[in-house]
Structure 1
Amino acid sequence: MSSSSHSLLTPFIQKESNMGWQNQGWLFSASLVVFWASVRSIRREEFFPFGPSAGDQLLESGDDQTFRLTLSKPVLFYDGSFDSLYINTNGFVATKEPLNESTYLGKLPPEFGAMAPLHGDLDTSDGVGKVYFRQDNSPDVLRQAAEHINRGFPEEDEVNPINTVVITWVDIASHKPQTRGDGRNTFQLVIASLETASYAIVLYARNGIQFTSTLVEDNGVVMHAGFSQGLVKGFFYSSQGNYYRTTTDDEASVRALAEETNSGLRGVWVYGIGTSPQFRNVVPGVVTDLPAETVDTQQHTDGQVKYSPAAEQIEINPLRYQPQNPEVVVVEDPEINVDVFSYNLGSCANNRNKCSQFADCRDYASGFCCHCRPGYYGNGLQCVAEGKPQRMNGKLRGKVFVENSPSPVEFNGNDLHSYVVVNDGRSYVAISDIPTSVGPSLMPLLALSNVIGWVFALEQPGFRNGFSIIGGEFTRQAEVTFQPGNEKLIIRQEFEGTDELDHLVVSTTMDGRVPAVPPGSTVQIDPYTDVYQYDSNLITSSSTRYYTVTNPDGSVETRSYQCRETITFQSCQHDESLRDVTTQMLKVDQIFVLYDVNNNLLRYAMSNKIGDVNEIWSKTHFNNNAVLENPCFTGRHGCDTNAVCRPDQGSQFTCQCASGFSGDGRRCYDIDECTENQQICGPNAICNNQPGTFRCECEDGYQFGSDGRTCIVDRPVDHCEDGTHTCDIPDRAQCSYTGGSSYICSCLPGFVGDGRICQDIDECQPGRCHQNAVCVNTQGSFLCQCLPGYSGNGVYCSSERTKTRCEAHRDNVLSTMEAHPRGARPPISQYIPECDENGNYLPMQCHGSTGYCWCVDRNGLEISGTRSAPSSRPMCIDHNTVTPTVGPWPRPDVIAPPPGTNLLFAQSGRIEHIPLEGYDMKKHDAKAVLHLPEKVIIGVAYDCVEKMVYWTEITSPSISKASMLGGEPTAVIRTDLESPEGITIDHLGRTMFWTDSMRDRIEVASLDGSQRRVLIDTDLVNPRAVIADPVSGNLYWSDWNRDAPKIETSHMDGSNRRVLVKDSLTLPNGLTYDSQSSLLCWADAGTHKMECMNPSRGDRSTVLEGIRYPFGMTSFGKTIYYTDWQRDAVVSVDRYAEKETDEFQPQKRTRPYGIAAAYPQCLSGQNYCSVNNGGCTHLCLATPNGRSCKCPDNAVAVGCVEKRKHL
């Protein structure tokens, strides 16, 4: 138990242990469960027709045979169109002829384009295995292909293919003689094409995958399936294209091909593999749910159960228990995930490592199951020692309203700890940091904690607690309805198994409303019983719980609530004996609840027993028919807490120390396995003793092998690079390599989830679009579309207006279009003007046929000297934008912001400005000041001396500048950059600083880029924001290294580097410094917080919580402005009021990046570089008490002098 959980629970256990036993009563109801049986896999006979009777050609027998098939209709694959395909023995189809198999076997992805239904080193030279192929456009085959595709993409328009290519690998064996006879594989690939799209349909027959790996250079390599684009030619060199892998390096993923689906039919998989004219990546089918065969669910409701005396047996149907008030529980929550763990078909020979180290693997006719060894209990995947106390740790999140309160109390990761003395069924739960506004009202909510009592309940003879049946991985949802106010609360808990310390891990969310309990009240909960109905992968219960509230004035109220529970899990279906459990009753008494107002702790304690619904538990007749309970089943045995109680005849019993402990059972002591057997962990491993067990840890440079026990040399694998990660598809998630063999999955903006499963967020909330527009939700985003009769971008819609000069010019050209078989098209030599959303000429115009581009003025007239060749693009200033005004600077003692201040922010291929009026954004006057098509601008900075805006961009990595008073953009630095991001200006020393997140360094240069020097290039992983404080001579930057994010500072010459903030950071993106208040502020996209601190004092404080995905930020007086990727907006925050005050969403709804404040006059202040360049020959870099003269990195024998001056 961790020290924190121990401190939470220990005093509660001591205080509560003095309570006496309480009277017990019971009330239960039960539920009928409707369940479904899974369907069978597809048979070979249900493949597309194949063989000589279907008109197939036969690939020549051999080990590595290839045949070029010329197509009557082209196949679209990724962004290419192919008139021929190459059929290969080794389970793939290529878009160009592959070289000898030695060039690609075991070397993934291949350099050629490939569709691989199941790729490995295969052989047909024995005459048994065959590879058939043909083209087919017969109606029956086209109809069969359409059925599979349309079933896999039910939300898309129906497709009707016009041609197919059918390739079938039948009874294929592995090539190497060592594996000959181990099995044969049968699978089929069908490529179905339309005019503008192609699909792949892959079929795997039942029992069609009999081996999952082949030998390559005498090493076993798992076969793989997927789609590879191959090498893609670039301007200077070729690079590996997209690679969509449908299996992993785990053999279980290969077997799953015949057992699972993405098209609604087991063993059948569909993918969109190419479209014209544009294509992003392979798109899988979306129907992973299987159609069902209905199981008889006849309900017997013509009778009622009567509650009988304890000595009277209740007749009960073990499959359909009928309570007094029967009801059917229908699981409607789509978020309930039963795929906690998936048993795959196979044998123990290949799956033994999936069982607990305290379990044995047992083969059955249909697969394998894991069973805990004697002395342990669990589901075989997780096993714990009998009699050993158990612990549970987790976090609590959610929102709870108290009675009629208009605002909820939020929980953001409150600690939840539990301790269970298993041999007497006593459980203790403590939750920390519960506010006094809700703490007393949560005391009756035993439903929050009683699941741990069921998991480790004291077992009566012949009955099993939750952990014995389903282990520690399951999902629980409880719906609580309070009476008489009808308040409702939903509790959802994800049990994630045990951690390295064998502690159960749980994540809890709680949302809803509870009735108020006055502060200072006490709550007593009556004993109760819960009847649990067990079925395959589903457990349900329903009960009513009564409690008494004693108010501070002495008045007493009796209240109640109903609790309905649903527990979903994944069981092993291969062992028939595991299906015997149908109905059990949990008896809960000795309930104690307390809200510790001094420590803000919520505490629960209860005793739990699981047994027969007839409630005659473990009683034997004694002497003259008296009934005596065995102490093992009452918990009154006196065994050590680390011992198991073994019942004997009558009231006799023995105490036996749990595994990993020694003693007489009354007193048990931990066995130090590491000392007794110093070789217990094997070579290259370290033994770490734990209470009741031990833990093996690999030495540095080693990692556990596939058996989970042997330490082997650590060879890091970048799963993100080779496609073996478990993240969602690239359209929804991002895989981030974190070093070693580790990686992090995160959902892209517009999606929510854990990164492995990401779901689209419906952004169409009220107010998203204009009142005369409709909101359309899309994958990862949304669209605003003006209603008929209105024009605009959907965010703002106005009634149809008179066409502008540009629109009239454009429409006049389009009206002269020539007729064309594929629709009207303009003449080849005709230029069509491009207009922006307001009808103005875009600053850059291009000829659609020739590719030449040029800049135009506001009237659409070409600006002389700007025309560029097709291979380049001019950088054009938007002449429709009003230049920000410049006004006088107020007296130094005036706090109010000066007039003429603007915000500059980057958004895709443009820089926009928002005028400020005071601190308010004049949103209606916001416009673009600079258009840079096809560029991705990241960082923005402003030089107040020359009225110049500087920016970084990453498409063709460079740093550029342009005058705010008009003029052409100028590239300042173009070389030796990879991903320049943050940028800041020292207007006094006339230098600029920037970060490069690919080169992992911070650099400085003069404003014309002529003098360049690397300041910091060590211990940086993902540097992003950088801010200079020229007056004080300090530099600040953020590094969002996912393993160790931090905010650092140094002098502007790079000296005196130190970490300012490293705790409670995740993704520190934005950074800003306010010289008037001396506050450094940052925004974190991981913690969703905005925080500030005085760097000289370290007094860190939170300004705002709950922000979504901040990127850039800047400060202006009391207001902080930041850009948000999820809101596609610029947001203003009042630092004093600690709240958001406004937001601006540009008409172009794309991600906003860097942001800077453009002052009409420079702020007052000076440093030692502001006069005569500080006396330096080259770079003058300020420090808090002086300056450093530094040479640029390329200054060799040019008379550069380095020196440092302190004052």
Structure 2
Amino acid sequence: VMELTLVLLFGAVVSGARGLELRDLFPFGEEAGDATLTPGSDSSAELGLEPELRFFSEAFDKIHISSNGLVAVQQPPPQAEYLGQTPPPFGLMAALMGDLDRGLVHFRLDRNPEVLDRSKDLVQKAFPQRPAQTPEGAVVVTWDKMAAAGSDGAEVGWRNSFQLVLVLLRSSSVAVLLYPRSGLQFLSSPAGGAPRALEAGFSEGLVYNWWWGKTQGKQEWLSSEGEESVRRLTRGSNCGVGGVWVFEVGAVKFSQIEPGTITTFPEDITTSPPPVTMLPRRPDPRVSTATDEPMTPEKEEPENIYEDEYSNTMNTSSTTTSTTTSTTITPTTTADYTATNTTKYQTTTGGVFSYNPDTCAQKRGGCSPFAECRDHASGSCCYCRHGYYGNGKDCVAEGKPQRMSGQVSGRVFLGSSPVPVEFSQKDLHSYVVTNDGRAYVAISSVTPPLGPALLPLSSVGGVIGWAFALEQPGHRNGFSIMGGVFSRRAQVLFSTGEGIDEHEHLQVHTELEGALPPVPLGATVQVSPYSEVYHYYDNLITSSSNREYSVVAPSGEVQNVSYQWRQTITYQSCVHAPGTRPGTGPGTGPGTRPDIQQLTVDQIFVMYDQDNSLIRYAMSNRIGPVHSSAPESNPCFSGGHGCDINAVCRPLEGQSFTCVCSSGFSGDGNHCEDVDECLSPGLCGPNSFCSNTVGSYRCVCPPGSRLSPEGQCTGTRPSPDIDECERAPCHHEASCSNTQGSYRCECKPGFTGDGLRCENPGSVLRPASLCELDRARALSRSSGGLWSWFRPRSSVFVPRCDSGGHFETTQCSEEQCWCVDTEGAEVQGSRVSGTDSPPHCVGPVTPPPFGPAPSPGVGHVAPGRLLLFAQSGRIEQVPLSQTGPDQTRPLLHVPDRVVIAVAYDCVEDSVYWTEISGPSIGRASLRDTERGPRTLVSSDLQSPEGLALDPVSRLLFWTDSGLDLVEVSRLDGSQRRVLFNTDLENPRAIVTDPVYGRIFWSDWNRDGPKIEMSNMDGSDRVVLVQEDLGLPNGLTYDPQSTLLCWADAGTRRVECMDPHLRQRSTVSDHVQYPFGLVSVGRSLYYTDWRRDAVVGLDRFSRTETLVISPQRKSRVYGISTTDYCPRVYNYCEQNGGCSHLCLPKLGGFSCLCPDRRDGTCYEPGQNWV
């Protein structure tokens, strides 16, 4: 018998005894108005203070924040002079001092009333006998995801996050240290050549005595020299709040450091406590195998499943093995609004940050922005507005797909192995099509043997399916009742049927611990459909079911396995709502809850992708009445309605229904498009900038300020308005109007568009082609979704059209490919089986343009998707559907120039290039060919070779091997800024990843070739590849597979790597002399100097698929493709509210100034210049 216990935590309510979660830290980051420490080991920054900090008996008007987990009252010496040498020779406050690296350090002086109120409350908790004082300011310093220097912490995910808040009172200062439970993942760092436990405490440093000279001053340390004392920081407290420590560190009349006086934890009477994670014991081999008993949907009374975990002895003598899963979910719809980034939970005497209802006037942003607050006799509650559902505190749009991401960590025993498999922070991504109840979950970087063993555990993603299950009439899914705050504890008892012992921008964080039956590598797992009965009580839900699956070994042997499933879910509802109030719509907020419901789960798919170390789960979920196996016949309740993926299905009489686009989208319901809410004036407050997002919008404040609950930008001084129209941000066929803090673009009469892109309806718009009509009809029948590895349904053939609306000459469906003519009819005898070797289909030949091509200028642009490559003073084009040598045509003539790099802008249909004979960087429009090429950059260049652009942020990046630098500018060549000019020898290729805000570049220094990565703002520069390189020339990044690939003319190989997982693989090891490289789907195309040709490689079969030999024999250089715009977003869309350069980075962005400032640029943490 193997017993598996899962505990999932959703939400942010924390009682004192249980300690802090990461989300309970004081707000930090750019939205909170923080400055960020320059990345690097042993770095520090100065912060001026007003009022002064009282530290021991002195007052200081400035402090120094260090990346090594401390704040000093003077400039810290080099770390070798104090790390490992307690006490240190200078005055400091050590939050968690050690040799730390790689993470981010945020800091600010804050006078926000919410921050000051929370600081005041914590001080009052620690010193209840003292009269309350209102702070005059608070310094908030956050060390986020710090790794131990010199270790593998960054690779395996061991990161520490913690916070120090200095409360500045009128006559004293108080330090508050916050240690989240999951924020302490390592306990020591290197010091003096050996590991040393991290240190927390306060030291006055060396002080001057008139008699003895310099002597060591006073000190107070929370940690001793052992790691156990560091571990206790997350569990203990001196203010009654687990993980929070409060000390008075200075006063006008000061004698010594005074700690808080409260060491006991008050009970949280409002919520049931989530369980404490317990280290599992191995199953007792003497216990016999249990047999499954049929489970009936009898209503069981809730039991106290936490009793043993809170006993004084913490008895764990059970012979079974438990596994815990902790999960936190935050709705993405709410997160779109910067205005909601406020403290929803306030401190009370019953525990930390528990919710204070009172009245709507006192709620201060506690409701979702898509909800309204209503007062009742005993307090207030939140109710989602029409078109949204949830519990009022968390509301999402009806019908809108929900995306979730997070991480999975754990410690799991497999089978009878005495050694557990440990894993940390494996990425989880989930996607739920809410209007048909289909949920998809993927977990990456899970290697064998753990990956196959987790396949039967679809419950990891099953709770996501239950939360957004398709609702039958009169029934409600989990999110409708509880929103995003709840905890789940489930027990799984494995047994075998034939005598063998075998075996998810919402935020999701999962931890596993326990034992699982192993599954052989290469085996497939088939999970049977099941039903689960849910019983509902006040703030408590219980359920149980029997589940079965089969393991099909590579040999064909089938093993049937079953297990019993029991779970208990706790949550906190609004106690002030009338007990029998009916909801006005699904999940409008507190109201009538069902007594019993049945979750039906079918179409379950589980798969382990060994090549990519990836686990996939998919399942369809319906919530309805007990004993109902079939859904209601109306298509809205069966999921067969065919509405747009961003629409909600409204049932009518009988089989009739109507499709209505979700909030934030417009259309007829069968086809919905995103609405740009920012076109409506007045959505955001003064001095804030409206940024459109898919299905919603964000209000963004200028750097250094934050958005208050009332929608006002606070925390910075007023700034003079900048006339953005001076830099011509709009389309050339649009007019620009300057507004306070922003600008508006409007297309000229006769043109249509959003002002950033304007088109002439007479010349651009055309009726839908035959191919496009066929494709639209097929998609409406298939109800395709974003996760295309399951959708559209295999029974529906969806034709492929090129950008001109014509049928692509090769069509494929269900492992077969064939050729078609211009009408889409199949060419007889062309059908072949298998998509790896499709037929060679020849389409209609486009004759070359009559007469010589203009010089210089843009030639005839062929229809469809094109390969573009540079050859001397020309850029050539080849249609991807017709790749014969006679299909090569000149696209652009740049006489007497040597064009090196080529890049394509999918937004404005333009091509960019670098040339080294000028040298210069140029641009030409493929849509408006009469305008001709234009030079963007011609000064301060020597040998620009690599070129890349970010179509979302509208940025241009290039390398210069003559000046040895990496530079960035806007797409028009303005606002130039050098990112790197050190440790570069021969930088060549460069590519971008707009989703994560990254750039990658190669350096073919013969003495030390390398491939590097950094954020687009120049932070977090790291070497990705350094071993076994020769001359890395070409570089390409595929956002779909997240693979970075390069072509090496020294090793004669083409290789790929996942930059997140650092897994490296070889595509081909017999290329000749590659230069440029581009990725197109499963293919890689590179230019070869030895063959004077473009060569295609299949990434999966690792074989050469084609050779394109241009008619003109000369060296071929850079290569690109006219790709479609990916549907991706980052923080710098619409320039992120920055005055000049908005440069994305992982998890945020930086507002930076160009190297040549114009007098109006502002950077956070800097002065106006």
Q: What TM bracket, shorter-length normalisation? A: 0.3 to 0.5
**Structure of higher CA gyration radius:** 1
Greater relative CO (CA pairs within 8 A, separation 6+): 2
What TM-score does the superposition give when structure 2 sets the normalisation length? 0.36
What TM-score does the superposition give when structure 1 sets the normalisation length? 0.35
